[in-house]
Chains A and B, each alone.
Chain A
């Protein structure tokens, strides 16, 4: 990690968001739902991000909303990751129709459009809380990683040491736990980060179309009110810019972490492309001007 500035930047930024998620509600200068007489004010020293049509403080809404975003992202990420490991590794390890069946199952879940599915499920639920939203997202978004894990497991299964362990009569669970899973760590981690990103965007999107935790705040609810109260036509750019930037920053942080993992898994991607003025090129090996030794 230390020699991977991208991943490091991503992790630090992610840490800041998690910190806000924990302490945000205490730091917030106002209660995000409390109305005041400062209606639709642009950013000022009292209201850093301005106010809504009801005089609510947008900075507090964004800050308080961080917790819900991180919570849903983390819970959905964990649920989807556990499911994808269960389905993917089993599908990869089992040969024959059981493996094929599990693989078909993940492919089915993969091609069914995720967001509309999440929308019909959440809007049919008796109540939506952060937890139910996180669970629905988690339960519907494991397929991509399961597919990746299955492919990895298939190739691991043919490695010598796994074959050897099987020949020695080790139990299937021992082999999966001690020979296969440790080699999948990076892939699982990358899948987790990817799912968190997807879950965050999904939660915000759901909130934006009006499905969210009743009474709670997240960045999507801020945007929902901005949209339904015509913030745009009133020129209230401060109403939707901060929440959107927060999403983009969190998304970038997660993507950076994933780049780091990708470069670790696939060494060809490492950008050692131009060190010390020498450009590495396929097909025309660089020639150093002078002897270096």
Chain B
């Protein structure tokens, strides 16, 4: 029996308040187990980043968490709701328990401070009693972990290449040996070779250190080889969840199928995925019924009128689609 470490229940995230607001994440349930890699895939704009930052309360204005729970299980087995604890407690928990690698490392580093300062910052904030010397050594060691020579320690971000900056961010995420690392498209902006290198480093490190990962990408083919379980998002909802193997072999939702058989551009401007016609719905005017039905090649009458919910389907897997109705009972 795998233990749960992070559990999202009924999470709703909005942009804006009142009548102007749009719901970018709707009723999402998600479970992350200890030591597992959970993939989160979906076209760009499907709400993956909003989900990741919403559940950690890092979403900048006008983002608002409109409801739900995010239950984190601590080392001693007790649980806390990240959405309900005090700011000071959340601050203590951040990075030491849950670290995040943000989309776009270029903007994640403070441009006016040395890499060393930014690494040491974390160490200082969470273990005030360590000596400056120990912190410097640890920073050097962290850079070594992701394959960066220690003479880069005192560089400024603009002196490093994009790939190196992303590695620095990964090193920084691992600084306090967190139990959960959330990675939002950590390699999207990089070219294929660097992308592969970084992923390899990441796999290695995970095996050695044993943290759990939420890995976000719009590139499903990447996830399939790299994660244990995958959740597929569409228009702010999780529409299918399965083990990588199952999803790869038999994707149940037509959207998952489309994602799997499209070839997203690895580099350069994002173009439309060739496997799915049309574009994602406008969050302000969502189609009735299943949000995917206007683009779905296998849509039926019921799809336009009733919204399918995520549940155990007759196939014994979790999917929200009328092709695989929820098993009753």
* A and B touch in their complex, CB below 8 angstroms: yes
A residues within 8 A CB of B62? 272, 280
Whether B64 lies near A285 (C-beta < 8 A) is yes
**For residues 78 through 115 of chain B, which have their beta carbon under 8 Å from a beta carbon of chain A?**
83-84, 87, 90
Say if the beta carbon of A169 comes within 8 Å of chain B.
no
Say if the beta carbon of A214 comes within 8 Å of chain B.
no
Interface of B is mostly: mixed
B residues within 8 A CB of A278? 17, 64
Whether B66 lies near A281 (C-beta < 8 A) is no
Say if the beta carbon of A288 comes within 8 Å of chain B.
yes
Within 8 Å by CB of B67, from A284, A285, A290, lies A290
B residues within 8 A CB of A285? 53-54, 57-60, 63-65
Whether A287 lies near B23 (C-beta < 8 A) is no
Say if the beta carbon of B316 comes within 8 Å of chain A.
no
Whether B23 lies near A293 (C-beta < 8 A) is yes
B residues within 8 A CB of A281? 61
Determine the residue in chain B with the shortest Cβ distance to A286: B64
- Quote the shortest CB–CB distance from B46 to chain A (angstroms): 19
B residues within 8 A CB of A266? none
Say if the beta carbon of B12 comes within 8 Å of chain A.
yes
- Quote the shortest CB–CB distance from B128 to chain A (angstroms): 20
A residues within 8 A CB of B23? 293
Whether B90 lies near A284 (C-beta < 8 A) is yes
B residues within 8 A CB of A276? 17-18
- Quote the shortest CB–CB distance from A158 to chain B (angstroms): 14
Within 8 Å by CB of A282, from B16, B17, B18, B61, lies B61
- Quote the shortest CB–CB distance from B81 to chain A (angstroms): 10
Whether B83 lies near A287 (C-beta < 8 A) is yes
- Quote the shortest CB–CB distance from B27 to chain A (angstroms): 10
Whether B17 lies near A275 (C-beta < 8 A) is yes
Within 8 Å by CB of B61, from A280, A288, A292, A293, lies A280
Question: A interface, how many residues as a size bin?
Answer: 10 to 19
- Quote the shortest CB–CB distance from A173 to chain B (angstroms): 30
Whether B61 lies near A272 (C-beta < 8 A) is yes
Determine the residue in chain A with the shortest Cβ distance to B59: A285
Determine the residue in chain A with the shortest Cβ distance to B53: A285
- Quote the shortest CB–CB distance from A161 to chain B (angstroms): 15
* B contact residues, total (Cβ < 8 Å): 22
Instruction: Tell me the bound Cα distance from A170 to B309 in angstroms.
Output: 53
A residues within 8 A CB of B58? 283, 285
**For residues 250 through 293 of chain A, which have their beta carbon under 8 Å from a beta carbon of chain B?**
272-273, 275-276, 278, 280-288, 290-293
Whether A293 lies near B12 (C-beta < 8 A) is yes
Determine the residue in chain B with the shortest Cβ distance to A289: B67
Determine the residue in chain B with the shortest Cβ distance to A276: B17
Whether B57 lies near A284 (C-beta < 8 A) is yes
A residues within 8 A CB of B60? 282, 285
**For residues 1 through 50 of chain B, which have their beta carbon under 8 Å from a beta carbon of chain A?**
12, 16-18, 23
B residues within 8 A CB of A284? 57, 87, 90
- Quote the shortest CB–CB distance from A195 to chain B (angstroms): 32
Instruction: Tell me the bound Cα distance from A280 to B59 in angstroms.
Output: 10
**For residues 277 through 299 of chain B, which have their beta carbon under 8 Å from a beta carbon of chain A?**
none
Instruction: Tell me the bound Cα distance from A283 to B63 in angstroms.
Output: 11
Instruction: Tell me the bound Cα distance from A291 to B14 in angstroms.
Output: 11
Whether A287 lies near B12 (C-beta < 8 A) is no
Please encode chain A, from 13 to 55, with 1 for each CB lying within 8 Å of some chain B CB and 0 for all others. Answer: 0000000000000000000000000000000000000000000
A residues within 8 A CB of B61? 272-273, 280-282
A residues within 8 A CB of B54? 285
**Residue in A273, A282, A283, A290 whose Cβ sees the most chain B Cβ within 10 Å:** A283
B residues within 8 A CB of A286? 64-65
Whether B84 lies near A291 (C-beta < 8 A) is no
Whether B66 lies near A292 (C-beta < 8 A) is yes
Instruction: Tell me the bound Cα distance from A234 to B54 in angstroms.
Output: 66
- Quote the shortest CB–CB distance from A270 to chain B (angstroms): 9
A residues within 8 A CB of B12? 291, 293
- Quote the shortest CB–CB distance from A285 to chain B (angstroms): 4
- Quote the shortest CB–CB distance from B291 to chain A (angstroms): 16
Instruction: Tell me the bound Cα distance from A293 to B19 in angstroms.
Output: 11
A residues within 8 A CB of B16? 272
**Residue in A273, A281, A292 whose Cβ sees the most chain B Cβ within 10 Å:** A292
Within 8 Å by CB of A287, from B17, B18, B53, B65, lies B65
Instruction: Tell me the bound Cα distance from A284 to B67 in angstroms.
Output: 15
Determine the residue in chain A with the shortest Cβ distance to B67: A291
Whether A275 lies near B90 (C-beta < 8 A) is no
Determine the residue in chain A with the shortest Cβ distance to B61: A280
Whether B64 lies near A288 (C-beta < 8 A) is yes
- Quote the shortest CB–CB distance from B159 to chain A (angstroms): 25
- Quote the shortest CB–CB distance from B125 to chain A (angstroms): 14
- Quote the shortest CB–CB distance from B289 to chain A (angstroms): 18
Instruction: Tell me the bound Cα distance from A291 to B62 in angstroms.
Output: 17
6 A/B residue pairs, CB under 8 Å, sorted by A: A275-B17, A275-B18, A280-B64, A284-B87, A288-B64, A292-B67
4 closest A-B pairs (Cβ-Cβ)? Answer: A280-B61, A291-B67, A285-B59, A287-B65
